[in-house]
Amino acid sequence: MNDTKRTILTGLAIGLLTLAIPFYLQLIGVVPEKQEDVSQAPAVEVEPLSIKQKPLYPGLQPETKKPQLLAAAETQNFFVVTDKYNATISNLSGGSILNFIMHSFEDDQYKYLGGYDVNGNYSKDINLSLSIPTDTPCSPCLQTSEEKFFYVPFKIVSPRINEGQTISLQEGDSLVVIMEHAINSQSVRKKMIFYGNQYIIKHDFLLTGAPEDVSLVWADGIKTTEKNLFEELTFSSGYVAQEKEINSLSFSPQSADEKEKPAFYSGKTDWVAIRNKYFINALISDQALGGTLSASAANLNEESVIPVYSMGLDFSSSKISVSQFFGPLDVDIIESSKTYLDRVMNFGWLPIQPFSRSVLWLLKKLHLLGINYGIILILFAFLIRVVTGPLTKKSFESTQKMQKIQPRMKKIQEKYKKDSQKLNQEMVKLYKETGVNPLGGCLPMIIQMPLLFSLFIVFRSTIEFRGAPFFGWINNLSQPDTIFDLSFSVPLYGNQVAFLPFLLGISMFMTQRLSMATMDKNTKPMMYMMTGFFFVLFNSFPSGLNLYYTVYNFLNYFQQRSIKGK
């Protein structure tokens, strides 16, 4: 194999590795700081009902049936409004979260908008909800061997909580809601605690006369939120963390009848969690003796099937305390929890993580200066071009030298094709004579790979780009810059036509032509195929990622053209 072919194949391998890294995705969550006595929290404000209940997804009804003896029991719903979310809470199962709407306000606009309506149609303007309400909510619920407390309407004993009330919490406020239920000699007392400026909800249980081997289960999944389902489902998964060892469960159903066999993990468990691309739901406890993950399929709409993950923590105690984090995959929020949950954020392999964290840190700092994220991506392209420019120049010059000696290399290969030892000796002699390093074209590129990988990882997955506009038709840097939708879906390409991938393909083609003049004619089709492959693949990637690569590639083209012209 001559050196040109080896270089091309190396480039292909590096490209494929780049594309594979984002699938090394994992989940994050938050453990709250130690809270003060909630009984001393400021009084909360009671307002009229202002939150509408969200309708159900079609096809997401669980199989569990409502116990007949509870059919006539009354239910109560109340509403909690904080700086972070609006939540609809039911007394069913002792405080199920029926609806959870994100509504953080930032940069004079709502930060979290866009999602699917009751018919499975995406809209960029509706409030973003993370919960999937069902007729039999288990979000979360306490399950025992006798199942006496599942779908039971607990009695709300807190004096200020009435049916249909809305309780508003400001920063520094907290709300304690106590519920209880008794069946014969068995009883459960449940305390929920909400905080005005946190994504944490506390669930504390006191069991009397009931079996101590119980599980706290979240069976209702986390709602699909992104228009680009390929990206959404690529990042969706369930996780169990046991003493800093993290296990995951991923499920890719093809029909709504499919189910994934539950995975049970025994031993001390720190947390369980489920996530989609940008949001996470985690149950965290220092008492759990095991964790469970499972998944089933459901119809999002007539065309799409999605996974619905369930999770649970197992206990053997009459007193249980669990913290739930329900919110965004934001690195600052996660790291402030001072737990190892940030390890499962998508920062890539261990050697790459320092680069990824640095890129994200700089990205957020620049935005704090009031700079649009689209402008920041362009600045990154110039910055990375400056940093990697000398290496790229060295690589390009080395490649040019290799191309110039290709005719002599072919003669040597032909002359000594039956004598490999002599062939190697003559090739080494040629390299010394011409001053060419056969690895000179590859090594500079390999050196900068960790940085380039980290940029790909961060720009593809960071929540900072969700809903962030740039200009014109690029109104959401976390989604493709679609110029029109197709009435059908093309494998790998998707069901939309984006504009930036065209510019990206042109920039790649222009750059490749600079190195094709002296290239072996047999390798040229491979280069064209690579350009076409990336054009098709990147059509479904976020426009922020494509914007960066497009600008970067054009800068790379002009640099190489300048080098070649000297």
Q: What is the DSSP letter of 97?
A: E
Quote the CA–CA distance of 399 and 442 in Å, as a whole number. Answer: 9
Residue among 180, 156, 151, 136 at smallest CA distance from 69: 151
One domain for residues 544 and 516? yes
Residue 519 and residue 497: Cα distance in Å, rounded?
A: 33
Residue 295 lies in a domain: yes
Does residue 359 form part of some domain? no
Phi and psi, residue 356, nearest 5°? -65, -45
Task: Give pLDDT, residue 500.
Answer: 97
* 255 lies in the same domain as 150: yes
Does residue 189 belong to any structural domain of this protein? yes
- Does 14 lie in the same domain as 36? no
**Residue 73: half-sphere exposure toward Cβ, Cα within 13 Å:** 18
Crossing angle of helices 3-20 and 524-537, in 10° steps, is 10
Tell me how far CA of residue 343 lies from CA of 27, 271, 346, 353, in angstroms: 8, 13, 8, 10
Q: Evaluate the CA torsion angle 147, 152, 154, 155 in order and state its sign.
A: negative
DSSP per residue, 300-364 = SSSS-EEEEEEEEEEEESSEEEEEEEEEE--HHHHHTT-SGGGGGSS--STTTHHHHHHHHHHHH
pLDDT on residue 65: 40
Q: Compute mean pLDDT per 10 residues along the chain, 566 residues long, and list them.
A: 40 43 33 33 34 33 39 76 94 93 72 85 89 87 78 88 91 94 89 94 92 90 91 93 92 85 93 95 95 92 89 95 94 79 85 94 96 97 90 78 84 86 88 81 78 94 93 94 90 91 94 71 79 92 97 91 74
- Can you give the residue range of the structural domain that contains 267? 25-63+76-345
Same domain, 318 and 374: no
Would 240 be classed as within a structural domain? yes
Task: Give the whole-angstrom CA distance, residue 199 versus residue 162.
Answer: 23
- 559, 483: one domain: yes
d(C-alpha 227, C-alpha 218), whole Å = 25
373, 277: one domain: no
From residue 136, alpha-carbon distances to 56, 164, 173, 174, 219 in Å are 11, 19, 31, 28, 10
**Tell me, what's the pLDDT at 69?**
37
Q: How many CA atoms lie within 13 A of 529 on its CB side?
A: 9
Token readout for 498 is 């984006």
For the packed helices 449-461 and 543-565, what is the interaxial angle rounded to 10 degrees? 150
Question: Same domain, yes or no, for 337 and 418?
Answer: no
Is residue 487, in this structure, part of any structural domain at all? yes
Domain shared by 16 and 29, yes or no: no
**Residue located via tokens 């907290």:** 174
pLDDT at 108: 59
In terms of domains, do 189 and 297 share one? yes
Choose one of 316, 345, 374: the last residue of a domain.
Answer: 345
Give 3-state DSSP helix, strand, coil % of the chain, rounded to 5. 35, 30, 40
Beta bridge partners of 312: 217, 292
Query: What confidence score (pLDDT) does residue 514 get?
Result: 78
What lies within 8 Å, CB to CB, of 529 at 6+ separation is none
| Residue 356 counted as domain residue | no
Q: Which distant-in-sequence residues (6+ apart) come within 8 Å of 263 by Cβ?
A: 240, 247, 249, 292, 293, 294
List C-alpha distances in Å: 525 to 11, 16, 513: 14, 18, 12
C-alpha to C-alpha distance for 411 and 140, rounded to whole angstroms: 73
Residue 478: inside a domain, yes or no?
yes
Asked if 308 and 407 sit in the same domain, the reply is no
Element (H, E) at 260: strand 259-266
Q: What is the pLDDT of residues 142-201, one digit of tens each?
A: 988 776 777 889 999 988 888 889 999 999 999 999 999 988 888 999 999 999 999 999
Q: Would you say residue 69 lies in a domain?
A: no
Q: What is the CATH number of the domain that holds 55?
A: 2.70.98.90
3-state secondary structure of 292: strand
Whether the upstream peptide bond of residue 140 has omega within 30° of 0, thus cis, is: yes
Q: How far apart are CA 30 and CA 199, in angstroms?
A: 9
Tokens of 353: 């993580």
State residue 399's pLDDT score. Answer: 77
Chain segment 342-382, per-residue pLDDT in tens: 877 889 988 999 999 999 999 999 999 999 999 999 999 99
Q: Are 320 and 194 in a shared domain? A: yes
Residue 282's pLDDT is what?
Answer: 95
Which DSSP symbol is given to 273?
E
Which pLDDT belongs to residue 366?
97
- Buried b / exposed e across 312-322, counting CB within 10 Å, b at 16+? bbbbeeeebeb
Secondary structure of 462-522 in HEC code, one letter for each residue? CHHHCCCCCECCECCCCCCCEEEEEEEEECCCEEEEECHHHHHHHHHHHHHHHCCCCCCCC
243 & 375 share domain: no
β-strands 213-218, 305-316 pairing: antiparallel
Q: Where are the alpha helices (DSSP H) in 369-419?
A: 373-404, 406-415
Count: domains in the chain? 2
